[in-house]
Structure 1
Amino acid sequence: MKKLLHALAAAATIAAAPSLAKEPGTPTMMPSGGSIGVPVGANPPPGLYFIQRSEIFRSNVYSGDTELPIELDVNSSAQQLHWVPGFTLLGGSYRGMINIPLVHATQTAFGDSTSESGVGDVILSPLNISWMLQPGIFVQSGISFSLPTGKFDTAPGAVNLGSNAPAAAIDIGFSYLRDGWNLSAHANYIMYGENDDTNYKSGNEIMLNWTAMKDLGGFSIGPVGYFRKQVTDDENNGFAYGGTTSGRAEQYGIGVGLSKRFGPMELNVNYVHDYHVRNTAGGDKLLINFTTPIGKP
């Protein structure tokens, strides 16, 4: 159960931070690295779970490979409820989830700062299924939907907490949980709808998060990281941003993760540095996940 509780913080359930990837000044559906440190292939035992996922992100904005004089600081906290009712679907364990992000973002450009606080885009994940292939070896797949509930402003330089467009993601996860190891990989394909206020449609993205942590007796530690790449071009069907589109975003980061259990609760802390950034915001992240069961199904 110790390892399985981690599975609740999968990337498809995590609030995004504002950046200049995709449509300028709007957040991605999922932040890079959302499920690092998590055995994403396995659902936890039946029950109702609460997760608070916090992120501290200090970054600079890049146009192409060039760092711009624009800083983006984001402090976010995603409140999540996960429901594992204990029945099987398609031969696997079923899980449902809702994610409500609270975000404070500050953008500093050429000496001027703009801040915004509030609720970001809410994510619903109604279908997640996990299959045990062998004892300690799991695969998972699911689908998530992002609702345009976060603040959006068309003013130049605005710090937006939402994308003002629907989005959906399909994902697949794998976890090897034997001999104290958490070897996990989590792939997502993210698809964006059109922003009705700007007639801008962001390109689709792939994101891969990975974990290689080992239980050393009382705590687990090991390297973690992510890779993100935009695979289709943006489309500008209006006159916003002068009719131009953003370039495709790319990003990869590597860091270290630490997990420890306190009775029925678990704390997971990850630090990641971006070593490659293109057409997005990149820098340093501190990701903190707190998981606790709050009831039976």
Structure 2
Amino acid sequence: MHITERAASLLFAAAIMSVTISAGAAESISPAGPIGGTDIRSALLPPAGNYIAGVAGGIDVERWYTDNGDSISADGHVYFAGAGMLHVYDQTFLSGTLGSTLYLGVQRTCFGIASVSCASGLQDIYSDIFAWSKFNPSQYFSPGSIIPYGTAYWVGLGLNIPTGNYDKDRAPNIGSNFFTVSPNVGITHTFPSLFPKALGEATELSARLFFNYYTENRDTDYQSGYVVSLDFAGTQRSGPWQYGITGTTYQQLTDDKLNGAQVANGGSRAASFSIGPLLAYDFSIDGQPYSLMAKFLTSTWGENTTGVSGLTLRLATQL
């Protein structure tokens, strides 16, 4: 493939290689599933082929949000690293592209209010079992451009598989010990810049909406309530650079249950809103294209969850 085409392919690939950490469940310090794992270009799939990304980051736990949105002091941190893989199929469906992803990672979590406890080990496996993306180019799109002017639509099905390190007598845990099924839809809209040209040639708006269904933890008879989450990003594209704001928010819709009965604190329903800056850079080395991304998110509000600040780094390329 010509290098220009390969570079353009990678620009599409970078977003779906976003992956989330698996920090537990609603019965732990945060909900399980693909919450906060996507940002820019999140509804785009690249041409057929194989892609890989490395991801690493650190999170500082600063507070615990109570059930009425107040906060109390807490202490802890999360460190994580892993690899995500994407396969885009040769076959198409309804004029759209099909793909599947797989993420494997390790994590260390420490958390406490009066005293801090820690756990380390493998995270749960996360997979987009299938993803369908259709890109509709706009009048500004040209095949030679690295900026995909137009609108992309996404439909996918995510699955969190309980393979992570878990002990029912320990808190916190790395794994969740239950499955998370996450149907999701997304959109990425790229158009000529809303701002002066000095700030970039294009503006991109991206969002992915997830419905997270949790099975019961059979070791504890605990059933986490269903959660709706939204990842979003509004960014400027300037040559190989992309920068702007990204964030994630979630709201638990149903009560947590223990042995079939509602738990305390009104069902312990969790909610959160986090936002922060993002910077990405696309480049090539000896003809091999890469995409590097950094984002820093800070919690601004929550209920029955942790308040955190954290940095995530991601490097993606095509195999």
Contact 1:7/1:44 (8 A) holds in 2: no
Q: State the Cα deviation string for residues 199-243 of structure 1 (Å, max 9, x = none).
A: 11100111111111112233111111221111111111169xx96
Distance between the aligned counterparts of 1:257 and 1:182, measured in 2? 13
Q: Does 1:83 align with 2:91?
A: no
Question: In the TM superposition, what are the counterparts of 1:126-137 in structure 2 within 5 Å?
Answer: 126-135=129-138, 136-137=150-151
Q: Which residue in the other structure is 2:98 paired with? A: 94
Rg larger in structure: 2
Distance between the aligned counterparts of 2:229 and 2:97, measured in 1? 24
Q: State the Cα deviation string for residues 266-290 of structure 1 (Å, max 9, x = none).
A: 0111112111111101221212111
Distance between the aligned counterparts of 2:212 and 2:263, measured in 1? 24
Q: Which amino acid aligns with 1:174?
A: I
Distance between the aligned counterparts of 2:31 and 2:226, measured in 1? 13
Q: Which amino acid aligns with 2:21?
A: A
Q: Which residue in the other structure is 2:165 paired with? A: 151
2:274 to 253, 257, 270: 253
Q: Which residue in the other structure is 1:58 paired with? A: 60
- Percent identity, please: 24
- Greater Cα shift, 264-273 or 210-219: 210-219
Q: Which amino acid aligns with 1:14?
A: T
1:125 to 128, 134, 142: 128
Q: Which residue in the other structure is 1:287 paired with? A: 312
Contact 2:120/2:165 (8 A) holds in 1: no
TM-score by length of 2: 0.83
Q: State the Cα deviation string for residues 135-161 of structure 1 (Å, max 9, x = none).
A: 4210011101111111222226x2201
Provide the aligned C-alpha RMSD in A.
2.1
What are the ranges of 5 or more consecutive residues in structure 1 without an aligned counterpart? Answer: none
Q: Which residue in the other structure is 1:271 paired with? A: 296
Q: Which residue in the other structure is 2:11 paired with? A: 3
Contact 1:219/1:258 (8 A) holds in 2: yes
Structure 1 residue ranges, 4+ long, deviating more than 3 angstroms after superposition: 24-27, 242-246
Contact 2:43/2:153 (8 A) holds in 1: yes
Contact 2:184/2:209 (8 A) holds in 1: yes
Contact 2:125/2:163 (8 A) holds in 1: yes
Using a 3 Å threshold, how does the CA distance of structure 1 residues 124 and 220 change in structure 2: closer, same or farther? Answer: closer
- Count of residues in correspondence between the two structures: 284
- 1:6 aligned counterpart, secondary structure: helix
- Greater Cα shift, 63-72 or 196-205: 63-72
Q: State the Cα deviation string for residues 106-142 of structure 1 (Å, max 9, x = none).
A: 12432x3322211111112221000123342100111
Using a 3 Å threshold, how does the CA distance of structure 1 residues 219 and 134 change in structure 2: closer, same or farther? Answer: closer
Distance between the aligned counterparts of 1:255 and 1:125, measured in 2? 25
- Greater Cα shift, 117-126 or 62-71: 62-71
TM-score by length of 1: 0.88
Distance between the aligned counterparts of 1:4 and 1:26, measured in 2? 30
Q: State the Cα deviation string for residues 166-211 of structure 1 (Å, max 9, x = none).
A: 1100111100133332210111110000000111110011111111
Distance between the aligned counterparts of 2:38 and 2:16, measured in 1? 9
Contact 2:11/2:282 (8 A) holds in 1: no
Using a 3 Å threshold, how does the CA distance of structure 1 residues 243 and 81 change in structure 2: closer, same or farther? Answer: same
Shift of 1:25: 4.8
Shift of 1:244: 4.4
Q: Which amino acid aligns with 2:75?
A: E
Distance between the aligned counterparts of 1:87 and 1:243, measured in 2? 47
Q: Does 1:173 align with 2:186?
A: yes
Q: Which residue in the other structure is 2:253 paired with? A: 231
Question: In the TM superposition, what are the counterparts of 1:211-222 in structure 2 within 5 Å?
Answer: 211-222=233-244
Contact 1:213/1:223 (8 A) holds in 2: yes
- 2:172 aligned counterpart, secondary structure: coil
What are the ranges of 5 or more consecutive residues in structure 2 without an aligned counterpart? Answer: 1-7, 139-149, 193-201
Contact 1:15/1:100 (8 A) holds in 2: no
- 1:86 aligned counterpart, secondary structure: strand
